[in-house]
Structure 1
Amino acid sequence: MTSSNYPLANTLKTAFQDCSVEPLEPEEMERYYVDLSAARKTSAIDSVSTILDFQDPADFCAILFTGHRGCGKSTELKRIQKLWKEDYRVIYLEVNEETDINDAQYTDLYLIVIKQVEFELRKLGLNFDAQLLKNFEAWFKDVTKEDEQSVEKSVSIQGEATLGPEAPFIAKLLVKLLAQIKGSEKQKTTIRQTLEKDLSRLKADINLLLGDAYVKIRNKFPQCKGLLIIFDNLDRVPPAVADHLFLDYAAQLQELHCTLIYTVPISVLCSPKNPLKQWESDPHIVPMVNIYEFERDRCDLNYNQTGLDAVASLIEKRVDIDAVFTSRDVLLEMAKASGGHVRQLMQMMRTACQRSSTQKHPKIDADDVTYAIKQQQFSFERFIPEDHYPLLAQVCLSKNVSKDEIGQLMLFNTSVLEYNGDKRWNYPNPVVKRNEFFQEALKSALSGQP
């Protein structure tokens, strides 16, 4: 059982509030963070930290960080932000706040980088070299046909955190362009086509500005190795967009002169196109917490108690179990139904709290947990296509997802989960295994086996 130096939630209401599905913020780490690397059988954050440690000042690279949505990647990335804030000027951003996540392109990321770096410099009381900035702005004015007057008309300084009275023209223009990319299909296409006509100039100018930013930051903070930009939520792009982004434009994503961490959909790893062959290093994977005893030929796997305890510790770090649950066994049933998926666990916990309170139960009991599990089950039943169930049954039997579009989609929507360790393997989400459509498909698959 996990101990805590902080007061634990001891009512259904406070347990509900403390078991948020949102990633931990840096200031919450000490209170709520649980190191799950041993139970995951891997430590993506340690391997990324090694890269950052080995880099000398002015070195840069592109790092891929992946795992299922809701597995805890954002929390780990915010830990990286906190751990390396003395050695790097860290810029953490959520891509979905900056561009259209369902249709992201590499030129969008270029614009986001320079927008965020300019803002970071301004916060430090620094500015880009005047001549470099003038040249960059002049080129942008020429290719976009925008000027100070047209930009001022359409950009609200009050409505954008990165702007202020002292913001240069380029900052306001980038805010306008990114807003148009996010909000208008026609303008998005026009902007991207315009920028791609002279991509080499765009990239060269951005790298000149990044080099200038590095010098300015090093002069002010001599211990700083350089810029570290974390692109979180890029793993939300659909599989087809991810293939396009990380295969067709892999080179462009690696050519900016700063250290970048890109979150990648785990479905990309199972693309038959093998987009990651274009990258200089392997992706760093945050797999599920392994709650099973892996046996390739066994359909219904036994549970691993160490893994279950690790999952339960996520709740125990926040909640007084004796005060909120009728027994710890009830919590362990929820851990089993999570499949080692952090957000799914928290969603079920919050549902169980609400249901228990609604039913006037003094504590969460087995019926409340069963109800919470079923709500997750029903949610999956609503979106899983019927033709996926035979394939899900095969995953259960083989512990391996198909390397095609359907396999990618099943990883993307978490109906299939990825585990790691001595072997890489897949297994259906436990709440999917519970439904009758899956059970029928599994029965059919077993009857067809020799």
Structure 2
Amino acid sequence: MQHTPARSLSEVYRTLQQAPLETIEELKAFYRKELNEVRGGDRMQRIQMRLRRAYADGIPFKACVMGHRGVGKSTEISRLLAHVRDQFRAIRFSAMTALDPGNFRALDVLLLMMAEVTERTARPVDQGGAGKRPSDQRLREIWDWFATETEMRSQAQDAAMQLEAGAGLPADSLWGKVLGLFANLKSEIKFAATRKVEVVEYRISRLIKLIDIANALLDECNQHLRSSSGHEWLFVGEDFDRAGIPTERTEELFVTYANLFQDLRTHLIFTLPIGLYYSSAAPRLPFPMDCSFVIPDTPVYDPHHKLNRPGSLAVGKVLQARMDLNLFEKNQWLRVAIASGGNLRDLFALVNYAADTAQLRAAAQISATDLDAAIVNLRSDYERRLGQSPYDREVVTYDHKVDRMKRIYAGDQEAQMTDPVMYSLLNSRAVQEFNGQRWFGLHPMVVDILGRQGHLEADGRGRFLGGTI
């Protein structure tokens, strides 16, 4: 990623990458506080305060962070981790890369956490670890839990022999066998669809014992880290709200096996699907209401469909940090900010598409026509999402969705009550949630769609209030 604003259309793709800001250098270059100012405050400040209290009191802190895909959750978490790096070392993992997104089970998350904390604690202090391995007692407990899985243990020993040969460890050491075990488990977890169902069910039947083993391991690893550097481990599980993860997987993890998170003696923060937070299963989530943090959308309109200038300008500040606004023809940067609905993922998608379109005609600026093409492209994506989704918890017809969206657009307070229809609309990003008095609105793309279908009335210029312009 280029860390200076794009000065030509050919550089735009280098700075408007749809990836979270992670490093301090990236945050300094591109993060803009104006977004939180118009969204109703900085949620990460509250989490930071709670984490520092937990560090002082010795009580595990557990929280969830929610918000539409594209509001910047991962970037906000990066900011949080930068602020608490004097007390915490983060073990950060993604459901999309560390797990099998469509087939993971709750047990996989626990095993992954155990593997990561074991390996990272053993790293040298100057590499972020404690420079000390877990005790043989802890390693034996882990190894013995798999005592009946002869195939797994055999594969682990084969992997251990290779690890030991490369590291100069004694042959058949317990440490090597556990490292080999974790290496094979990570591979299995990543490709969970290929494993046998009976293996998964057998492990789940022994979950309570594994939680006891995990807690003893977590206690010891935390003690080692605190003794060596004064830090404690903080797990951050992300992307559990991404498209492609079936609802039953997240509900099993955070609802059916909620006790997994409640019983673990460690600090952890997970990102949850915003729809799950508003579903009927929400009361059974393992995170208390005061530890559930929603990052609202950025308002580009107010509840009466009039332009929210502070919100639109805040989106413009984000854009200005990444590119010279003179790369747009007059007023087009404001237009793209509004068309994005304040969603950064949509903002970057629109600008990248428009910039490519302009380059294909050998232009030096993004014109209204270029942006028109980008809006049509993104609108088509929103139309597809409004159809029947395989990730809806229940079957929701388009007629039901249209009725609910029209009521939300009209400001009907009762329409904001959560049910399967609202759950589906939140997951598809058709409905946005804003700060202040907690109100819901429609994404400008969705306003356009409803208007073109004849569900909304146009103004005197043939435009739909609250839509793209």
Normalised by the length of structure 2, the TM-score is: 0.84
Amino acid in structure 2 at the alignment position of 1:15: V
| Structure 2 Cα separation of the partners of residues 305 and 434 of structure 1 | 20
**CA deviation after TM superposition for structure 1 residue 67, in Å:** 0.6
| Structure 1 Cα separation of the partners of residues 76 and 288 of structure 2 | 22
Amino acid in structure 1 at the alignment position of 2:407: Q
CA contact (8 A) 1:380 1:432 kept: yes
1:33 and 2:36 are equivalent in the alignment: no
CA contact (8 A) 1:71 1:342 kept: yes
Q: 1:205 to 1:313 in 2, by over 3 A?
A: same
| Structure 2 Cα separation of the partners of residues 60 and 420 of structure 1 | 29
SS in 1 for 2:342: coil
| Structure 1 Cα separation of the partners of residues 182 and 449 of structure 2 | 48
CA contact (8 A) 1:235 1:265 kept: yes
Q: 1:303 to 1:12 in 2, by over 3 A?
A: same
Q: CA RMSD in A?
A: 2.5
Which of the residues 281, 292, 296 maps onto 1:273?
281
SS in 1 for 2:270: strand
SS in 1 for 2:102: helix
**CA deviation after TM superposition for structure 1 residue 250, in Å:** 1.8
Amino acid in structure 1 at the alignment position of 2:40: K
Alignment correspondent of 2:319: 315
CA contact (8 A) 1:270 1:403 kept: yes
Residue deviations 1:127-169 (CA, integer Å, cap 9, x gap): 00112211221222x14334553235579979xxxx9776632
1:24-173 matches, within 5 Å, as 24-26=21-23, 27-35=25-33, 36-57=35-56, 58-124=58-124, 125-140=131-146, 142-146=147-151, 148-152=153-157, 168-173=176-181
Which of the residues 395, 399, 402 maps onto 2:408?
395
Q: Which one is further off, 380-389 or 405-414?
A: 380-389
**CA deviation after TM superposition for structure 1 residue 276, in Å:** 5.1
SS in 2 for 1:96: coil
**CA deviation after TM superposition for structure 1 residue 108, in Å:** 1.4
CA contact (8 A) 1:290 1:340 kept: yes
Q: Percent identity?
A: 24
1:259-298 matches, within 5 Å, as 259-275=267-283, 278-282=286-290, 283-294=292-303, 298=304
SS in 1 for 2:432: strand
Amino acid in structure 2 at the alignment position of 1:13: S
CA contact (8 A) 2:451 2:457 kept: no
Amino acid in structure 2 at the alignment position of 1:31: A
CA contact (8 A) 2:64 2:269 kept: yes
CA contact (8 A) 1:390 1:441 kept: no
Unaligned runs of 5+ in 2: 125-130, 170-174, 388-397, 459-469
Residue deviations 1:301-357 (CA, integer Å, cap 9, x gap): 1011111000111110111112x1122x21111111111111110110111110111
Q: 1:425 to 1:105 in 2, by over 3 A?
A: farther
CA contact (8 A) 1:374 1:431 kept: no
Alignment correspondent of 1:447: none
Q: 1:139 to 1:272 in 2, by over 3 A?
A: closer
| Structure 1 Cα separation of the partners of residues 312 and 63 of structure 2 | 31
Unaligned runs of 5+ in 1: 1-5, 445-450
1:311-390 matches, within 5 Å, as 311-322=315-326, 324-327=327-330, 329-385=331-387, 386-387=398-399, 388-390=401-403
Alignment correspondent of 1:19: 16
CA contact (8 A) 2:240 2:272 kept: yes
1:139-218 matches, within 5 Å, as 139-140=145-146, 142-146=147-151, 148-152=153-157, 168-185=176-193, 187=195, 189-218=197-226
Structure of higher RCO (CA pairs closer than 8 Å, 6+ residues apart): 1
CA contact (8 A) 1:67 1:286 kept: yes
